[in-house]
């Protein structure tokens, strides 16, 4: 059985920004290759499209359309918000001090029995130990 991952914008951006000096860039690329080869499953909330598009448009406006096209062509499974996902997000906002946006990725991981992979160390510190959360640098791909 292959492993199920939810990825956030911090991981997706490493796939298209092309900066090998970026921390954990190689690990992100290995995760992408594992998905393309079918050894892992990758999904993400629809939110990731807006978050990634916003960052690309601000960071590299001339290249943003092409880079966004590459991401869209990956056809990552979109996970819609559910009542359960929203309730988890609001709970973590209240108890952990995280944003609804960031909590959405983790809530989707919980809801789909997957592991959220993120490069956002501050988010991981705020959430604390979780069976559904891992830093990109810590995963084995």
Whether the pTM exceeds 0.75: the reply is yes
Helices (H), the chain: 9-17, 25-36, 47-59, 64-73, 83-96, 100-111, 121-127
Handedness of CA 59, 65, 68, 70 (dihedral sign): negative
The pLDDT assigned to 141 comes to: 81
CATH code for the domain defined by 3-138: 3.40.50.1010
The pLDDT assigned to 23 comes to: 80
Quote the CA–CA distance of 64 and 130 in Å, as a whole number.
Answer: 34
The pLDDT assigned to 20 comes to: 66
- CA nearest neighbour of 102 among 83, 112, 115, 116: 116
pLDDT under 70 in the chain at which residues?
1, 20-21
């Amino acid at each position: 059985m292959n492993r199920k991952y939810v990825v956030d914008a911090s991981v997706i951006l490493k796939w298209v920004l092309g900066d090998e000096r970026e921390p954990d860039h190689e690990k992100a690329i290995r995760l992408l290759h594992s998905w393309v080869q079918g050894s892992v499953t990758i999904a993400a909330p629809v939110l990731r499209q807006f978050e990634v598009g916003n960052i690309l448009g601000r960071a590299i406006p001339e290249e943003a359309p092409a880079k966004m096209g590459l991401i869209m062509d990956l056809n990552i499974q979109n996970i819609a918000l559910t009542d359960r996902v929203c309730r988890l997000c609001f709970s973590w906002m209240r108890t952990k001090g995280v944003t609804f946006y960031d909590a959405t990725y983790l809530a989707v991981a919980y809801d789909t029995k997957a592991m959220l992979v993120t490069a956002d160390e501050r988010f991981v510190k705020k959430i604390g130990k979780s069976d559904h959360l891992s830093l990109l640098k810590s995963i084995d791909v």
